[in-house]
Amino acid sequence: MTNKKMTINGVDLDIKEITDLLNQNREIEAIKLVLDKTKISLKDSKNIVDNIKKGNYENLSNPITTTNKERVTIKRNGNEIIVAYFDDKGNEHIVTPYDTLWEKVKSMAKDNETIKEYERTFRGR
């Protein structure tokens, strides 16, 4: 397969990178790659990966525009926790318990234990 690319929200995705992950039985990582790079919904990211997995490469080079929805990501890097809020335009905001967005992030993350841990740790500094 040639190095096909697809463009989503102005971001080029390398189809080979996704198929390499799929060939290594790393489908979740492939979906996360699409999700993180493009800021589209989890459902749309999964649909794209599913189509690539099935060999359906039609129109993959055409730009795809999606409506971004608010979302929260929580990443752990060793002992560090990074909480990011993505607004409805796809803009990322790194959030701490002292930010005005914190209550919104907590409500979006519901009863996430990592959020609770981060808040306890952050306020204890």
Tell me the helix, strand and coil percentages in the chain, rounded to 5: 40, 20, 35
Q: What is the mean pLDDT of residues 5-13?
A: 74
Q: Is the dihedral of CA 16, 20, 25, 30 positive or negative?
A: negative
Q: Is the dihedral of CA 47, 50, 54, 58 positive or negative?
A: positive
Q: Is the dihedral of CA 101, 102, 107, 110 positive or negative?
A: positive
Query: Does the domain formed by 71-123 have CATH 2.40.50?
Result: yes
| Domain(s) of CATH 2.40.50: residues in the chain | 71-123
Q: What is the pTM of this model?
A: 0.49
8: tokens are 């989503």
118 pLDDT above the threshold of 90: no
Q: State pLDDT tens for residues 26-35.
A: 999 999 998 8
